[in-house]
Amino acid sequence: MIEKKLFGRTGHLSSRTIFGAVALDKLPQAEANLVLEELLSYGVNHIDTAMDYGDSELKLGPWMKQHRADFFLATKTGKRTYQEAKDDLHRSLERLQTDRVDLWQMHYLINPQQWEIAMGPGGVLEAMIEAKEQGLTRFIGVTGHGLAAPRTHLRSLEVYDLDTVLLPYNYVLMQNPAYAAEFAQLAAVCRERNVAIQTIKSVARGPLGDKEHEYAVWYDPLTTPEGISHAVHWVLGNRDVFLNTPGDVDLLKLVLRAADEYESRPDQVIMDADLKKLGITSLFTGDEM
């Protein structure tokens, strides 16, 4: 069974591997049900979806009718204004067939202009605070991609004491001194405030480039069991973080297996060898806004 730990200040004992439910988007309902059954077999009890993840919420809805109590349920909105975000939440609740979520997050909030709208008067933050007061969500958070994520999340935490953050984290990315320093700064604030840290792109091998999409992710992923195992174990070796699974069912199976077998973090020699052998490069360039 995959290890569990307290998810920040929420009081929920979450599996350290969180299911990224975008993987359900294109699946028939019967296949989606099998994926969710597999999650239970590994002890995964935390689901992360979003209004922007296609049919993901719709595929979760029938399951939530029967198993809502078995999962910490998180969703997101990519809208930046109060009313649009509020409408998004009510659509999410309807699609998920539930009267509340455990966590509602501002999705991919990195762009400076969008940040000003979201965090300012009439922005999504106001809708989130209201939803928390009304019991439509228990907790609120923020997510982001790219090299700007740690410093932008720190800025968001200065405005409001959010419950969670989500951002990229893997070995090659943390070889970037600037990103590593900003990630460490964010992690220190999160430890002090007991803010949960979710991480993404654990098994990213690099940009997709001219390659064809063989997997249901927008980047070039690691695909070998050994490479995925090393990458997953390296992330889980940081006791401060949770690992959100990739948005592809075949990759999901390998990540779940690796997380279930986790014992210790691979050392630098192993990880540096993987960089060369597997051609791992950074997914992000700094232009992601």
> Model confidence over 140-187: pLDDT tens digits?
999 999 999 999 999 999 999 999 999 999 999 999 999 999 999 999
Q: 261 vs 289, which has greater pLDDT?
A: 261
- Judge contact between 67 and 41, C-beta under 8 A: no
State yes or no: pLDDT of 65 exceeds 90.
no
CA distance linking residue 230 with residue 274, whole number of Å: 8
Q: What is the pLDDT of residue 289?
A: 60
Task: Take residue 193 and report the two structure tokens written for it.
Answer: 């405030």
- Judge contact between 168 and 179, C-beta under 8 A: no
CATH architecture type of domain 4-278: Alpha-Beta Barrel (3.20)
Convert the pLDDT of each residue in 251-264 to its tens digit. Answer: 999 999 999 999 99
Q: Which residue has the tokens 């809208």?
A: 79
Per-residue pLDDT band at 54 (split at 50, 70, 90): very high
Q: What is the pLDDT of residue 9?
A: 98
- The string of DSSP letters for the chain reads ---EEE-GGG--EEESEEEEGGGGTTS-HHHHHHHHHHHHHHT--EEE--TTSTTHHHHHHHHHHHHGGG-EEEEEE---BHHHHHHHHHHHHHHHT-S-EEEEEETT---HHHHHHHHSTTBHHHHHHHHHHTTSEEEEEEE--STTHHHHHHHHHHHS--SEEEEE--TTGGGSHHHHHHHHHHHHHHHHHT-EEEEE-TTEEE--TT----SSSSSEE--SHHHHHHHHHHHHTSTTEEEEPPS-HHHHHHHHHHHHT--S---HHHHHHHHHHHT---S--S---
Q: What are the residue numbers of the active site?
A: 53
Q: Which residue has the tokens 């439509």?
A: 136
State yes or no: pLDDT of 249 exceeds 90.
yes
| Strands 241-244 vs 196-200: parallel, antiparallel or unpaired | parallel
CA distance linking residue 160 with residue 19, whole number of Å: 26
Torsion, Cα 205 191 106 6, to 10 degrees, reads: 90
What do you get for the CA distance between the two ends of the chain, in Å?
Answer: 37
Mean pLDDT of the region 254-283: 98
Q: Taking the model in full, what pTM does it have?
A: 0.97
Q: What is the pLDDT of residue 94?
A: 98
Per the prediction, the chain carries an average pLDDT of: 97
Task: Take residue 88 and report the two structure tokens written for it.
Answer: 């998004």
State yes or no: pLDDT of 62 exceeds 90.
yes
- What residues does each domain of the chain span? 4-278
Convert the pLDDT of each residue in 91-129 to its tens digit. Answer: 999 999 999 999 999 999 999 999 999 999 999 999 999
Q: What is the pLDDT of residue 79?
A: 98
